[in-house]
Amino acid sequence: MMKDKKYLLIPGPTPVPPRVVEAMSRPIIGHRSAEFQGVMERVTGKLKKIFQTENHVFVMGSSGTGALETAVVNLVSPGDKVLALSGGKFGERFAELAKLYGGEVIFEDFGWGYDIDLNVVKKQLDANPDIKVVLATQNETSTGVQNDIKALGKLVAQYDAVLAVDAVSGLGAIDLKTDEWNVDVVCSGSQKAFMLPPGLAFISVSDKAWAKIEKNTTPNYYFSLLKARKNIAKWNTTYTTPVSMVYGLDAALDMILEEGLDNVFARHALLAKATRAGIQGLGLELLVPDEYASLAVTAVQAPMVVDADTLRKVLLKEYGVTFAGGQDMMKGKIFRIAHMGYADKMDVIIALASLEMALGKCGYKAELGAGVREAQMVFVGGEHA
């Protein structure tokens, strides 16, 4: 095997296209220079198109978790009632943050691998009219569950509460109409569908959310949205922005907008469909049903006889392919195949072909080519030959 020929198929960080690498290699300029302000203005305009919003989108130097913390420390004051909707590791993280900063958190756990039940949300909102913030995850990376943010937004909009959505691993891969769907705060990160290395986070804020933020009493500094807002007029960021990453972002946003946002979503849907068909063609079990399966990452239950992490080691060693493992309670039981960002049909083929061979080496007899063929069928849109 060629040591350097690698295939990264994890739900972040994801591969970076050459065009973005090239942009990131430009000479550094001052982050307070007129030239960089021009870049920030241009990039923000494009980001707003991806966020499908007229709200301002802030660019931050942090991981996606930094964006979640930004949402919480600006929205949640000690004693505020928060409804946290969780179905996995990242839902839990959002809730943990709210609790840490003094929120009185109603933790609604739908279970790992399940989506949000809107009836439960409605019941909680009706029973607790003083809920100030609802926290939800668009794409639960730990399980490959995709929540119906449109319906959730419609529901929460009828209450005083603001809706903050962790869209770190979904935005740019899965449709999220921030304004039309009434999502007050949308958090995202660079290293998923945005096709950039980790290091940047993005957050949009609605007027309804600003009204709460202006009354917020939780101290914050690096993550302060009020400070950040003061600098919008000059297209400055409060602190030193990762300049090279912003150059890369500029190029990545061009790629997304040139392809067309709807085409990008359709590509992700196609890759998800093909991946799921291939997995089923191998006789393996998907973790979640089609109904709320993620378009960006697919979680697969390892066969009883195979430890998922051993399988992943074989995949890496023999074929240079990296899948993600299960986290926390799912460790060893599932593996996750990403199809997000700089991903296309052949990445799905690589995933399935290498998986078929690796399963054999781990003692599970999969028919070679069976998964690949199902994926091909999805791609050609035809019948079995």
CB nearer to a second copy: pick between 60 and 287: 60
Rounded Cα gap, residues 209 and 256, in angstroms: 28
CB nearer to a second copy: pick between 33 and 158: 33
Residue 347 contacts a second copy per CB under 8 A: no
Distances (CA, A) of 46 to 57, 79, 102: 10, 37, 35
- Residue entry with tokens 């980001």: 47
Q: Tell me, by CB under 8 A, how many residues bind a second copy.
A: 48
Tokens of 193: 């569908």
Rounded Cα gap, residues 47 and 281, in angstroms: 38
DSSP letter for 194, please: T
Q: How far is the CB of 16 from a second copy (least distance, A)?
A: 6
- What spatial distance separates the first Cα and last Cα of the chain, rounded to whole Å? 32
Contact mark string toward a second copy, 145..184, x via CB under 8 A: ----------------------------------------
Q: How far is the CB of 4 from a second copy (least distance, A)?
A: 8
Omega before 27 within 30 of 0, i.e. cis: no
Report whether 336 belongs to an annotated binding site.
yes
Choice from 240, 263, 289, 368 touching a second copy (CB under 8 A)? 240
Residue 103 contacts a second copy per CB under 8 A: no
Residue 135 contacts a second copy per CB under 8 A: no
Residue 62 contacts a second copy per CB under 8 A: yes
- Angle formed at CA 52 by CA 46 and CA 56, multiple of 5 degrees: 65
Kindly report the backbone phi and psi dihedral angles of residue 185, in degrees, each rounded to the nearest multiple of 5, phi listed first.
-130, 125
Choice from 46, 208, 216, 222 touching a second copy (CB under 8 A)? 222
Choice from 1, 219, 380, 382 touching a second copy (CB under 8 A)? 219
Exposed, middle or buried: residue 5 (CB in 10 Å: 0-12, 13-18, 19+)? exposed
Contact mark string toward a second copy, 10..49, x via CB under 8 A: x-xxxxx----x--xx-xxxxx-x----------------
Instruction: Collect all residues with Cβ–Cβ distance below 8 Å to 164 and sequence separation of at least 6.
Output: 71, 72, 75, 94, 133, 134, 135, 136, 184, 185, 186, 187, 209
Q: How many residues does the chain have?
A: 385
CB nearer to a second copy: pick between 89 and 273: 89
Q: Find the binding residues for a second copy in span 185-204 (CB under 8 A).
A: 189, 191, 197-199
Kindly report the backbone phi and psi dihedral angles of residue 374, in degrees, each rounded to the nearest multiple of 5, phi listed first.
-65, -40
- Contact segment (CB under 8 A) with a second copy among 178-186, 202-210, 217-225, 344-352 equals 217-225
Tokens of 278: 């291939």
Choice from 107, 239, 265, 379 touching a second copy (CB under 8 A)? 239
Rounded Cα gap, residues 292 and 80, in angstroms: 31
Whether the CB-CB separation of 184 and 196 falls below 8 Å is answered with: no
Residue 243 contacts a second copy per CB under 8 A: yes
CB nearer to a second copy: pick between 96 and 307: 96
Exposed, middle or buried: residue 2 (CB in 10 Å: 0-12, 13-18, 19+)? exposed
Choice from 256, 324, 337, 358 touching a second copy (CB under 8 A)? 324
Choice from 40, 75, 85, 97 touching a second copy (CB under 8 A)? 97
Binding residues for substrate: 336
Binding site for a second copy (CB under 8 A): 6, 8, 10, 12-16, 21, 24-25, 27-31, 33, 61-66, 69, 96-97, 100-102, 189, 191, 197-199, 219-223, 239-245, 322, 324
